[in-house]
Structure 1
């Protein structure tokens, strides 16, 4: 079995829980309604699919978790970039994701 970080496990659990609730049961800022199309080679997709199955989730939830945890790691490693991104989101009136809030940025 593949070992995920604590953050990745929590993210997968949160996604799975929200999926059971449905859009009607979530506040607007927690609804995942944007889609990003990503194209992979057949072999890359097979690797991703195999990883997803090994952590007992589907490909979309796995890719979401990887993307968010990778961005979080990069922001944790570049405090000035993280602050600029936060300022930009707040200026645009976008609620900060839970994982971007100060008490969730512990390394």
Structure 2
């Protein structure tokens, strides 16, 4: 996880909260809720983290969950391709953090000394555009 991404997302969510629903386009309003269950100790830890960061638990949970999804997609090429293809097929908009998936995917991953691997940039936006152009 990158602290700068988390901080930027927290700031954006805080601005959105201050602006309120009338000031945001409908696609930027977080109006969907997902129930997340924690053990008592996990909840206590989340409460402590949220207090220390001065953010509500729901906001911290949102940011950390999105950050974990970004890490997951950046580390699994096949899953990323499948998710992005399904996203494009549904004609969903490019989310502001898709570029973060690209950035993390191009980072060096657990290379061993003397190991040779082909390194290529996998651009989520390019994958979606190519798939849409092919009519997939």
Specify the structure having the higher radius of gyration (Cα). Answer: 2
Matched with 1:72 is: 70
Offset of residue 30 of structure 1: 1.2
Structure 2 unmatched ranges of 5 or more: 105-136
1:2-13 matched pairs, under 5 angstroms: 5-13=3-11
Matched with 1:24 is: 22
CA shift digits 1:5-61 (9 cap, x unpaired): 111111111110111111221122211111001122222111100011111211000
Per the normalisation by structure 2, the TM-score is 0.69
Instruction: Return the structure number with greater relative CO, CA threshold 8 A, min gap 6.
Output: 1
Per the normalisation by structure 1, the TM-score is 0.86
Pairing partner for 1:63 from 23, 48, 61: 61
Contact 2:74–2:102 (8 Å) recurs in 1: yes
* Counterpart Cα distance in 2 of 1:44 and 1:103: 27
The CA RMSD over aligned residues, in Å, is 1.7
Deviation beyond 6 Å, 4+ runs, structure 1 = none
User: Which range is displaced more, 60-69 or 30-39?
Assistant: 30-39
Contact 2:73–2:79 (8 Å) recurs in 1: yes
Offset of residue 103 of structure 1: 6.7
Structure 1 pair 103–71 and aligned structure 2 pair: CA distance change class (3 A): closer
Structure 1 unmatched ranges of 5 or more: none
* Counterpart Cα distance in 2 of 1:25 and 1:43: 37
Contact 1:52–1:58 (8 Å) recurs in 2: yes
